[in-house]
Amino acid sequence: MVKKQIIISGLISKNIIISFFSFLTIFSLIIFGNHFFLVLKESLNINFLGFEIFNVVLFKYLRDLNFVIVLCFSLAVIYSLNRMYKSSEILCIRNGGLSDIQIFKLISHIVFLLFSALLLSTLFIIPEINRNITLITDKAKTRPDFIIIREAVFQNFENKDLTFYTSEITDTSEENQKFNDAFFI
* Residues 126-142: tens digit of each pLDDT: 999 999 999 999 988 88
Neighbours of 56 (CB within 10 A): 23
Give the least confident one: 24-38, 94-108, 155-169: 155-169
pLDDT of 143-180, one tens digit each?
765 556 777 777 777 666 778 787 777 765 656 777 77
Q: pLDDT digits over 67-92, tens only?
A: 999 999 999 999 999 999 999 998 88
User: Are residue 137 and residue 163 in the same domain, yes or no?
Assistant: no
Are residues 106 and 176 both part of a single domain? Answer: no
Same domain for 6 and 28: yes
Range(s) of the domain holding residue 124: 2-143
The answer to whether residues 114 and 45 belong to one domain is: yes
Number of domains in the chain: 2
Is the backbone of residue 152 left (phi > 0), alpha (psi -120 to 50) or beta? left
For 140, left (φ over 0), alpha (ψ -120 to 50), or beta? alpha
Give the number of other CB atoms < 10 A from CB of residue 30. 11
pTM score, whole prediction: 0.77
Helix (H, G, I), strand (E, B) or coil at 168: strand
Same domain, 132 and 178: no
Indicate if 172 and 125 belong to the same structural domain: no
Assess whether 154 and 106 both reside in one domain: no
What is the rounded distance in angstroms from the CA atom of residue 90 to the CA atom of residue 176? 70
122 phi and psi angles, rounded to 5 deg: -65, -35
What residues does 184 pair with on adjacent strands? 164
